[in-house]
Amino acid sequence: MDRVLFGDNQFFGVNHMSEEKARAQAMRFQHLPAVLDVLDAAYQEGIRTFMCTTHDRVAEICDHFRANRAKYPDYVFYPCMPYAHKYANAVTELGMIDALRKFLPDEGALRSMFKGGVAVANKDVEAIMQLLVDAEMKMFAGLNTPVIFIQNVVTDLLLGLGMKDAFRLFHDHVKKKYGAEAGYITMNVPRLLDVLDELGIDNPIVCANINKIGFRMCGGIELYEKTIRTRRFRPVAMSVLASGAIAPREAIAYVCKQPQIESIVFGASGRGNIRQTKVLIDELSQKPS
């Protein structure tokens, strides 16, 4: 994984501090050229990995990168699935069964199986999970996707429910079908690692909030620091700035002084911020001579 990954919250009206800021960003990025300008700016600053949800609009971004391979020869996508609101709103509107039916492909016996409310056998759960992953991956066809993440809402739902096998099924499917490594986004790192260890998933890629104020780091900042120091996994730090609650230099210094943290993902809307953050990460990542 690259040291610096570019995130996508800013493009889709996600801001953990302010709904007004989120709306302003949604307006600014409602048309594709504005999004591509920012991705280009990031690319020119040396950030070639885009870590993005499977929001419908990402499909347009994928089209652009497919059509311009020469311009971005080494570009990498890290899909994060699913874009949960798409499913949550559908469940509210349609009910769980119809919502699932809506997102499964038309073909195949699985979809019709639901019509009778037939009990699901073990292998069916695996098949449904694979179909949902494949449906989300369609937009990335032909692009380089070496790591595929499960979004925290799903990771943490499965983790809480105790549906551990799903993590293994996901891991095996993305490896076999896409030659990709599985990544897990979570707000509950220590607990997730216990489960991944139990499943024998070695040295997993785990993306989580890691920030100096302990924002959304369940188990507490000390436990996170100890976990990062002592356990075998590849941490990707997100929410490093805690949505702007920490000054950039201080925020990045906190993450960079934990050498086990492999990558940092951040989102920004302007070239100035992108450059500033990238330069800070590069500067503070250098080992003291």
Partner 1 sequence: MIRTAMVGLGKMGLSHLAILRAHPKVDMVGGCDSVTYLTDVLTKYTGLKCYADFDKMLDEAKPEALVVATPSKLHAAMVEKALRRGMHVFCEKPFVLDVADGERLVELAERQHLVTQVGYHYRFVGAFKEAARVVKSGALGRVHHVRAEAYGPVVLRDKGGTWRTAKSEGGGALYDYACHAIDLVNFIAGVPTSVDGVVRRGVFSQGVDDEVYCTLNYASGLSGQLCVNWSDESFRKMSTKISVWGTNGRITADRQECQIYLREAHPSLPEVGKGWTIRYTTDLTDEVAYYLRGEEYSAQIDYFAKSIEEKRTRGENTFRSALEADRVVDMIVSAAGGARPAAPPPSAPRSRRHALLRRIFELVEARI
Q: Does an H or E element contain 100, and which?
A: helix 96-103
Residue 6 C-beta: closest distance to partner 1, Å: 20
| Antiparallel, parallel or unpaired: β 76-81 and 49-53 | parallel
Choices 95-103, 133-141, 226-234, 273-281 (CB under 8 A): range interacting with partner 1 = 95-103
Give me 176's structure tokens.
């076999």
Q: Taking CB under 8 A as the rule, does residue 119 contact partner 1?
A: yes
Q: Which of 45, 100, 105, 108 is nearest to 277 (CA)?
A: 45
In the complex with partner 1, the residue whose CB is nearer, 9 or 49, is: 9
Q: State the number of binding residues for partner 1 (CB under 8 A).
A: 53
Residue 73 C-beta: closest distance to partner 1, Å: 34
Q: Taking CB under 8 A as the rule, does residue 59 contact partner 1?
A: no
Residue 111 C-beta: closest distance to partner 1, Å: 14
Which residue in 31, 112, 120, 229 binds partner 1 (CB under 8 A)?
Answer: 120
In the complex with partner 1, the residue whose CB is nearer, 44 or 89, is: 89
Q: Can you tell me the distance from the alpha carbon of 10 to that of 266, in angstroms, rounded to the nearest whole number?
A: 10
Q: Can you tell me the distance from the alpha carbon of 233 to that of 215, in angstroms, rounded to the nearest whole number?
A: 21
Q: How many CA atoms lie within 13 A of 120 on its CB side?
A: 15
In the complex with partner 1, the residue whose CB is nearer, 165 or 282, is: 165
Q: Taking CB under 8 A as the rule, does residue 219 contact partner 1?
A: yes
- Binders of partner 1 among residues 182 to 211 (CB under 8 A) are 187-188, 191
CA 202 to chain centre: 19
Q: What do you get for the CA distance between the two ends of the chain, in Å?
A: 24
Sign of the four-CA dihedral 151, 157, 160, 162: negative
Site residues (CB under 8 A) for partner 1?
Answer: 12-19, 22, 26, 85, 88-89, 91-98, 117-120, 122, 125, 153, 156-166, 187-188, 191, 213-220, 242-243, 245
